[in-house]
Amino acid sequence: MGNKHREIDDFYDPHIFTKMSTRESLAYWLALPSKFRNPPTQKALAELLKVSEERLCHLKRDDKLIAQVDGYRKIFFKQFTSNIILAIKNKAEDGDPRAQKLWLQYVEDFKETTKQEKSTKITREFVFLIDDKKREELLDIIKTEKEKKYLTYERIKEIEKT
């Protein structure tokens, strides 16, 4: 294997399965990219663990196992985060707009807001600037308009009377 993937090899010792439960072994094995799995197939893993392949298939349907797989992935791949951030930085400096956006989101906590979110924020700010009496009037108007849109039990009875 090339130098670029050497770090993953260092994490993985196929003899570790002898120290783990079937569930842990399967989660650990599934967390690795397929090219780094040893044994390379699920069938071979079942033989190594001395369980049926059906048992492994059954375990794979369990949400708890999937959570374990995610946990192992984070352990295996966290070591690459700094390199990836550096690659994003380099691409961002070269003018890649997607890399620039990722950089701003990660480093500067940049968050996009939609037009609706901006409009809602402005509306909220406006509502707090008006006096209490006007605010109550405005809230009553909003409530009335909402009731017109949604049929409540009371609204249906009111319509039936007319």
Higher pLDDT, 79 or 117: 79
For residue 8, is pLDDT > 70?
no
For residue 7, is pLDDT > 60?
no
What pLDDT shows up at residue 155?
Answer: 65
**Tens digits of per-residue pLDDT, 56-111?**
999 999 989 999 999 999 988 888 899 999 999 999 999 998 998 898 888 888 87
Task: Tell me the percentage of the chain whose pLDDT exceeds 90.
Answer: 38
What pLDDT shows up at residue 30?
Answer: 94
What pLDDT shows up at residue 149?
Answer: 62
Q: Taking a C-beta distance cutoff of 8 angstroms, is the pair 65, 25 a contact?
A: no
Q: How confident is the model at residue 1 (pLDDT cuts 50, 70, 90)?
A: very low
Alpha carbon separation from 130 to 117, 120, 121 (Å, rounded): 21, 16, 15
pTM: 0.53
Among 118, 119, 101, which residue's Cα sits nearest to residue 110?
101
Contacts of 22 by beta carbon, 8 Å cutoff, 6+ apart: 49, 51, 55, 56, 59
Among 126, 147, 144, which residue's Cα sits nearest to residue 135?
126
Among 45, 20, 16, 19, which residue's Cα sits nearest to residue 30?
45
State the amino acid at position 61 in one-letter form. R
Evaluate the omega torsion of the peptide bond into residue 39 and state whether it is cis, within 30 degrees of 0: yes
State the amino acid at position 73 in one-letter form. R
**Tens digits of per-residue pLDDT, 18-66?**
788 999 999 999 998 888 888 899 999 999 999 999 999 999 999 899 9
Domain boundaries, the chain: 1-112, 115-161
Q: Give the tokens for residue 130.
A: 């008006």
**Tens digits of per-residue pLDDT, 120-158?**
655 566 656 777 787 788 778 777 777 666 666 666 677
